Amino acid sequence: MSLKRHIPNIVTLLNLFAGCIAVIFAVYGNFVVAALFVFLGIFFDFFDGLLARKLNVQSPLGIQLDSLADLVTSGVVPGIIMLKLIALSVGVNDFVTFEESWTETMKWTSVKVSYLPLIGLLIPLASAYRLAKFNIDEDQQTYFKGLPVPANTLLILSLPLILEYQDNDIMNSIIINKWFLIVLTLTSCYLLNSNIKLFALKFKDWSFKKNATRYIFLIISIVMLIILQFAAIPLVVALYIILSFLDRKHIH
């Protein structure tokens, strides 16, 4: 059996491995390290498909495995992070606390649950539905229908990174607002599964005329990232959607 056919799947499993590590750090509230492993997972996610095409070893197994890995890295992790942020916004340490240590009792009477943060877990549910739809939709070869899961993940991950590194009182007050977080969660779930057609960053050639929207998007995004750092990420996602609307006639 040729080893070549397994190379893309090994890279996909590295995506899943990075996602599992990110889950652990997200659960313990270390969002920076969790974000690093998510970025690593997204890096592997980009290259597994590229390798499969270059090696001409694309397979139904690889497609399903890719979605399973993405569900963890780009679905579960942002869901946990959103859960933690909503919990922080309502003044609780987490969505569940124990009056006694877990080793001393297994009784439900010792458990206190804050239900509002659980809204954050709508993100992995919406991500799973979006990935399943993508796998059976043969139209999404040159464009995306709905916001890609990794793009939504970057949007959610930008929030704790802005809090950690930019320390802006106005931005902090917006991010640590339960209504902002709830609306953002519901909006992201809608965008993931909407029928909005969004251009893919796939270049068939390097001509500006055929790829004007892609070049404009990349140039403006790079400038915003340099100037605004992590705060630029939500704006980049918004720009992506706006440019897709403006270029609808070329998306097919």
What average pLDDT does range 114-122 have in this prediction? Answer: 92
Contact 241, 247 (CB under 8 A): no
pTM of the entire structure?
0.87
The band of 237, judged by pLDDT with boundaries at 50, 70 and 90, is very high
CB-count exposure of residue 244 (10 Å: 0-12, 13-18, 19+): buried
Cα–Cα dist 132/112, whole Å: 34
The string of pLDDT tens digits covering residues 141-170 is 678 899 999 999 999 999 999 999 998 999
| 223: pLDDT strictly greater than 70 | yes
Using alpha carbons, list the distances in angstroms from residue 78 to 21, 98, 183: 13, 24, 15
Please give the structure tokens belonging to residue 1: 């059996």
The pLDDT value given to residue 252: 59
Question: Tell me, what amino acid is at 55?
Answer: L
The string of pLDDT tens digits covering residues 28-76 is 999 999 999 999 999 998 887 777 777 777 778 888 899 999 999 999 9
Topology of the domain covering 4-139+152-195: Four Helix Bundle (Hemerythrin (Met), subunit A) (1.20.120)
Report the Cα 190 to chain-centroid distance in Å. 14
Cα–Cα dist 203/218, whole Å: 12
